């Protein structure tokens, strides 16, 4: 029997490092529109949901998602785990594909491969190793989400959705598999946290976007010919999951 798969994109307008980044334009479209487009292109996904937080400031996000024909959900701002749990309650799904709204390089082809690995292995949580930061998805079972929602108590577990599963591997089937993508830039950042990240995204989208998702391999070929682009955001420090303690 085919498993029902729901992709949930977490996004909100408030951002500490780069406010309203999800609506900043890349190649003439809001960043979040590219994330939605790429998520809809993941083979095997039945339902796509944009899950944002309650608040009138998120209205542009909702309008963008609705204009693209995807479902929307409003929930807790800080407790993202609860937002996922409530969205999954409303829209269903045996498996949940987690996509973050600041990743306009989420790769649909590798996302589909991750889904295949998840289902074939009966994984509670599955994600690839070896892809550039900002290009992969992680997928978890609805049952794992329910257990995680009930038992998570720490702030970082509620903000980042899956830490409880990773911290309690004895309770779950966790699958990490290798996706050996040839890359001369192992620290390549393809996520958008700050202005430097956005500059990189803007350059790549201006060069590569032709009306639909381009691949990681397309990005690699461009970076190899233009290595100075990767230097723009190479000094950005990725925020720790326990940043609230720092």
- What are 33-51's pLDDT values in tens digits? 999 999 999 999 999 999 9
Question: In angstroms, rounded to a whole number, what is the distance separating the alpha carbons of residues 123 and 144?
Answer: 9
In this structure, whether the domain defined by 5-181 belongs to CATH 3.90.550.10 is answered with: yes
Which pTM value belongs to this model? 0.95
- List, for residues 154-166, the tens digit of each pLDDT value: 999 999 999 999 9
Question: In angstroms, rounded to a whole number, what is the distance separating the alpha carbons of residues 199 and 107?
Answer: 19
Q: Which residue has the tokens 């550039």?
A: 132
The pLDDT tens digits along the chain (246 residues) read 889 999 999 999 988 789 899 999 999 999 999 999 999 999 999 999 999 999 999 999 999 999 999 999 999 999 999 999 999 999 999 999 999 999 999 999 999 999 999 999 999 999 999 999 999 999 999 999 999 999 999 999 999 999 999 999 999 999 999 997 777 787 899 999 999 999 999 999 999 999 999 999 999 999 999 999 999 999 887 665 553 332
Helix (H) / strand (E) containing 158: helix 155-160
Question: In angstroms, rounded to a whole number, what is the distance separating the alpha carbons of residues 209 and 191?
Answer: 16
User: Looking at beta carbons, which pairs linking 77-81 to residues 24 or more positions away fall under 8 Å?
Assistant: 77/12, 77/14, 77/53, 78/158, 78/159, 79/158, 79/159, 80/10, 80/158, 80/159, 80/160, 80/161, 81/148, 81/149, 81/152, 81/157, 81/158, 81/159, 81/160, 81/161
């Amino acid at each position: 029997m085919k498993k029902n798969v729901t992709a949930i994109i977490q996004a909100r307008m408030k951002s500490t490092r780069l406010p309203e980044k999800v609506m900043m334009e890349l190649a003439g479209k809001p960043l979040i529109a590219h994330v939605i487009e790429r998520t809809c292109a993941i083979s095997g996904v039945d339902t796509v949901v944009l899950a944002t937080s309650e608040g009138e400031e998120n209205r542009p996000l909702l309008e963008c998602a609705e204009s693209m024909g995807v479902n929307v959900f409003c929930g807790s701002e800080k407790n993202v785990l609860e937002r996922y749990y409530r969205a999954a309650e409303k829209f269903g799904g045996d498996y949940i594909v987690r996509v973050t709204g600041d990743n306009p390089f989420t790769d649909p082809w590798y996302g589909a491969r991750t889904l295949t690995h998840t289902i074939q292995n009966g994984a509670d949580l599955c994600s690839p190793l070896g892809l550039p930061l900002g290009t992969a998805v992680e997928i978890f079972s609805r049952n794992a989400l329910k257990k995680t929602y009930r038992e998570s108590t720490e702030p970082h577990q509620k903000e980042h959705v899956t830490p409880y599963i990773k911290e309690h591997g004895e309770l779950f089937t966790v699958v990490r598999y290798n996706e050996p993508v040839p890359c001369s830039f192992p620290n390549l950042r393809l996520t958008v946290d700050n202005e430097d990240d956005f500059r990189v995204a803007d350059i790549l989208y201006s060069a590569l976007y032709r009306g639909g998702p381009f691949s990681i391999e397309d990005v690699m070929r461009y970076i190899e010919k233009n290595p100075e682009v990767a230097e723009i955001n190479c000094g950005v420090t990725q925020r720790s999951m326990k940043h609230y303690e720092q």
